[in-house]
């Protein structure tokens, strides 16, 4: 997966939804995802990358989600 740094302010050009983390965890559980130590580590690493301004592109995210649902 390729990561990119954020150099400018984030602008939202499409509708977005923000939900509390607890509700997101409940949504994952209802969707059939079960928390694992590996997933917890990946989430912690993703939060650290986000704090540093390192993100993935929308295309990478979209392609990754397609792989999960196919």
pLDDT at 45 over 80: yes
Q: Residue 69's closest CA among 37, 18, 32, 39?
A: 32
The answer to whether position 53 is within a domain reads yes
Range(s) of the domain holding residue 2:
1-6+34-70
**Structural tokens at position 52:** 């540093």
User: Is the Cβ–Cβ distance between 13 and 65 less than 8 Å?
Assistant: no
Residue 13: inside a domain, yes or no?
no
- Confirm whether pTM is higher than 0.75: no
Domain count, the chain: 1
Kindly tell me if the per-residue pLDDT of 41 is higher than 80. yes
pLDDT band, very low/low/confident/very high, at 10 (cuts 50, 70, 90):
low
Instruction: Please check whether residue 55 lies inside any domain of the structure.
Output: yes
Q: Identify whether 29 is part of a domain.
A: no
First to last CA, the chain: 18
48, part of any domain = yes
């Amino acid at each position: 997966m390729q990561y990119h740094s954020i150099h400018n302010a984030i602008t939202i050009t499409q509708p977005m939804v923000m939900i509390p983390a607890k509700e997101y965890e409940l949504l994952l559980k209802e969707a059939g995802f079960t928390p694992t130590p590996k997933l917890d580590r990946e989430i912690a690493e993703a939060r650290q990358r986000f704090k540093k301004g390192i993100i993935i592109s929308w295309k990478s995210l979209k392609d990754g989600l397609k792989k999960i649902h196919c």
